[in-house]
């Protein structure tokens, strides 16, 4: 590339000198353009960092967290895990989850939708007039902050029931929640690095309760080498009842139990009953996502 010093410029005709000087000023002014984000929203970039999570919480059940998985979770590396409610959960023995890998365009699309819904404006609660209804929780981490928005009875949208000041906010949040179920509309090839595949959970959370019914020969036998009694003893209490215990299965144990659930034709969500050491236990299991701790 040709260089030009101040002395060189002095020896050139005035018109050429002026043009070169203007060109150098323009280059200097644009020198930082490579770092310009162009209006994109800053977000975490590590694989285990949650950018956006949408959950439906059964806050009135002590076992609400025993089987529920998030509707949608987007991680910093672009991994997107969504609940597929139309899939046959009995095929895997657990709630069916799909995994996608988004590029930056896809991440920015979701963040833009979250911003439009007000999720990046700080914590918010929309209680409405409802009681004893599911709560939808949105957790967004972007632009250097984490915001949590809770909405009671999100899909109960009768205008006569909803305070006027909440209606537009609820409509925007309801539209955002449909991202998990309208993937065919917005999840285009231009926003994808990897198409959807079944999410193969490497870890399971298992919640168990004693069942006072006498064990019968037809009751399924606990499929793992370690007995349920021992796993419960190693686990922790769950909910409000000390007899309800929670533990984590990983690796081969998780795969073996999942296969056993599938053989029963059970989704795991309604609970299954297993015999171990001549005792019966009701079991509720769910997959753990990459950032989730068991029994938390």
pLDDT for residue 102: 97
Backbone angles phi, psi at 118, to 5 degrees: 85, 15
Strands across the sheet with 145-152, in order? 124-126, 145-152, 135-142, 50-57, 72-75, 79-83, 97-102, 192-198
Assigned fold of 50-198: Mago nashi protein (3.30.1560)
pLDDT for residue 266: 60
Q: Indicate the domain borders of the chain.
A: 6-35, 50-198, 203-287
pLDDT for residue 131: 76
Report whether 58 contacts 43 (CB < 8 A).
no
pLDDT for residue 270: 59
What SS3 string covers 238-276?
A: ECCEEEEEEEEEEHHHHHHHHHHHHHHCCCCCCCEEEEE
Report whether 88 contacts 74 (CB < 8 A).
no
Q: Is the pTM of this model over 0.85?
A: no
Q: pLDDT digit of tens for each residue in the chain (296 aa)?
A: 444 443 443 444 554 444 434 443 333 344 333 334 457 999 999 999 999 999 998 777 767 778 889 999 999 999 999 998 776 555 566 888 999 999 999 999 999 999 999 999 999 999 877 777 889 999 999 999 999 999 998 877 666 677 777 888 989 999 999 988 888 889 999 999 999 999 989 999 999 999 999 988 889 999 999 999 999 999 999 977 889 999 999 999 999 998 898 888 765 455 889 999 999 999 999 999 999 999 98
pLDDT for residue 181: 84
pLDDT for residue 59: 72
pLDDT for residue 10: 42
In 3D space, the residue among 170, 102, 171, 112 whose CA is nearest the CA of residue 142 turns out to be 112
In 3D space, the residue among 183, 118, 192 whose CA is nearest the CA of residue 148 turns out to be 118
């Amino acid at each position: 590339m040709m260089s030009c010093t101040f002395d060189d410029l002095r020896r050139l005709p005035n018109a050429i000198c002026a043009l070169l000087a203007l060109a150098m000023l323009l280059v200097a002014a644009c020198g930082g353009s490579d770092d310009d984000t162009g209006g994109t929203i800053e977000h975490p970039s590590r694989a285990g960092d949650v950018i956006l999570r949408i959950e439906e919480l059964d806050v009135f059940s002590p076992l609400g967290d025993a089987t529920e998985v998030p509707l949608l979770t987007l991680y910093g590396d672009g991994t997107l895990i969504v609940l597929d409610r139309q899939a046959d959960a009995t095929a895997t023995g657990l709630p069916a989850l799909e995994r996608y890998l988004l590029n930056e365009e896809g991440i920015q699309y979701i963040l833009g939708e979250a911003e439009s819904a007000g999720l990046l404006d700080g914590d918010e609660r929309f209680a409405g007039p409802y009681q004893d209804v599911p709560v939808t929780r949105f957790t967004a981490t972007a632009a250097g902050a984490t915001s949590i928005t809770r909405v009671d009875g999100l899909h109960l949208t009768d205008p006569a029931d909803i305070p006027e000041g909440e209606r537009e906010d609820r409509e925007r949040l309801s539209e955002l929640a449909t991202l998990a179920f309208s993937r065919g509309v917005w999840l285009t090839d231009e926003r994808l690095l990897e198409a959807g595949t079944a999410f193969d959970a490497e870890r399971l959370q298992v919640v168990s309760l004693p069942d006072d019914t006498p064990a019968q020969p037809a009751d399924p036998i606990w499929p793992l080498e370690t007995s349920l009694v021992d796993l419960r003893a190693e686990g922790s209490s769950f909910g409000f009842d000390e007899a309800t215990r929670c533990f984590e299965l990983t690796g081969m144990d998780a795969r073996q139990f999942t296969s056993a659930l599938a053989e029963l034709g059970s989704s795991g969500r309604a609970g299954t009953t297993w015999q171990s050491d001549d005792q019966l236990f009701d079991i509720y299991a769910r997959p753990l996502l990459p950032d989730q701790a068991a029994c938390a």
